[in-house]
Amino acid sequence: MTLRIPRRGMAQVLALIIILMIDRLVSPQFFNLHLQDGRLFGSVIDVLNRGTPVALLSLGMVLVIATGGIDLSVGAVMAIAGATAASLADTHSLPVVIASALAVGLACGLWNGILVAVLRIQPIVATLILMVAGRGIAQLITEGRIVTFTSPDLVWMGNGAVLGLPTPVVIALGMLLLTAAVVRGTALGLLIEATGGNARASELSGVGTRAMILSVYIWCGLCASLAGVIAAADIMGADANNAGLWLELDAILAVVIGGTSLFGGRFSLVLAVAGALIIQAMNTGILLSGYPPELNLLVKAVVVLAVLLAQSPRLGDLSRFTARWRRTKP
């Protein structure tokens, strides 16, 4: 049998559909929906809602990875932004709170961008600094405790609804459309891909690679801070120790599942978000299944391996090779 290499995006869409079908098998009420306090309620909504932070992170991460970089600090930036928002929530109005949190994210992104684009430090090392220090900064802001708030405006960011959809989902959708409009509606996306494909050639042909790299890290910081605000609003508190912990890895995984190469170059925003949804559909399925928690990570690893193998061009070659080998066998 010859395994045909599927068209771009097919693997991810198929993976998502298969995982949702498996979720339906382990939990018969998976696709049930009803309105609860003006908000849609059901497991599918959970997948979308819980997938929001990683989806937002992956929107920034996919651009960074497209330039051949990586940003390990997004989880820590989430914690700092969440801590900032939670500490201001009860004393300031929502626009001030969000603006401050986003400003923090912007500053973090600028820091990473300067280290990578101007000082030419390798991205993995440059962003590792903020990954480690950032959580400390967040702990300084919260003084090591969980800062809670009651401000209904900020709580709405995490638990409210717009036309029945949870607010975080609407925000993530808006950010996807905005990012897509900016990078695909203009030549920006192409320039980012060129930077990641061959920075030197792009530089020589007049692409401002330094500005490209700087701006993708800033965008990544902004997306991370928005994810941090949503995560804090969701639990009505900022938990500096745990907010966004290890989510940088989920975000990178989402981008990779979305078919963007870690070497940079071609990227897809929609598929990165699909990657985030695949991860979350799997997580929610595991929670619904009732398997013992010891199996969580094992199941996750097997599914991720399967999704990545399905995308591997070599696997297609391999199946052709074995087919030929079988034919030549006497």
Partner 1 sequence: MTLKALFAASATAALLLATSASAAELTVGFSQIGSESGWRAAETSVSKSEAAKRKINLKIADAQQKQENQIKAIRSFIAQNVDAIFLAPVVASGWDAVLKEAKEAKIPVVLLDRDIDPSGKDLYLTAVTSDSVHEGAVAGEWLAKTVAGKDCNVVELQGTVGASVATNRKKGFDSVVAKNANLKVVRSQTGDFTRAKGKEVMESFIKAENGGKSICAVYAHNDDMMVGAIQAMKEAGLKPGKDILTVSIDAVPDIFKAIAAGEANATVELTPNMAGPAFDAIVAFKEKGTVPPKWIQTESKLYTSADEPMKVYDSKKGLGY
Q: Which spans of this chain sit near partner 1 (rule: CB under 8 A)?
A: 27, 29, 32, 36-37, 39, 41-43, 46, 50, 139, 143-146, 148, 159, 231, 234-237, 239, 241-243, 284, 287-288, 290, 292-294, 296
Which residue, 22, 18, 56, 49, is CA-closest to 33?
49
**Considering beta carbons, is residue 194 or 230 the nearer one to partner 1?**
230
What is the nearest approach in angstroms of partner 1 to the Cβ of residue 94?
A: 20
The secondary structure of residue 265, as a DSSP letter, is S
* Residue 225: Cβ within 10 Å count: 31
What is the nearest approach in angstroms of partner 1 to the Cβ of residue 104?
A: 20
**Considering beta carbons, is residue 261 or 296 the nearer one to partner 1?**
296
Which residue, 285, 313, 259, 258, is CA-closest to 18?
285
**Considering beta carbons, is residue 122 or 241 the nearer one to partner 1?**
241
CA distance 183 to 255: 16
What is the nearest approach in angstroms of partner 1 to the Cβ of residue 248?
A: 16
Strand 147-148, strand 237-238: pairing: antiparallel
What is the nearest approach in angstroms of partner 1 to the Cβ of residue 25?
A: 13
Pull the structure tokens for residue 91.
């004393």
Do 129 and 67 touch, CB atoms closer than 8 A?
no
CA 98-102-108 angle, 5° bins: 150
What is the nearest approach in angstroms of partner 1 to the Cβ of residue 165?
A: 14
**Considering beta carbons, is residue 135 or 191 the nearer one to partner 1?**
135
**Considering beta carbons, is residue 242 or 319 the nearer one to partner 1?**
242
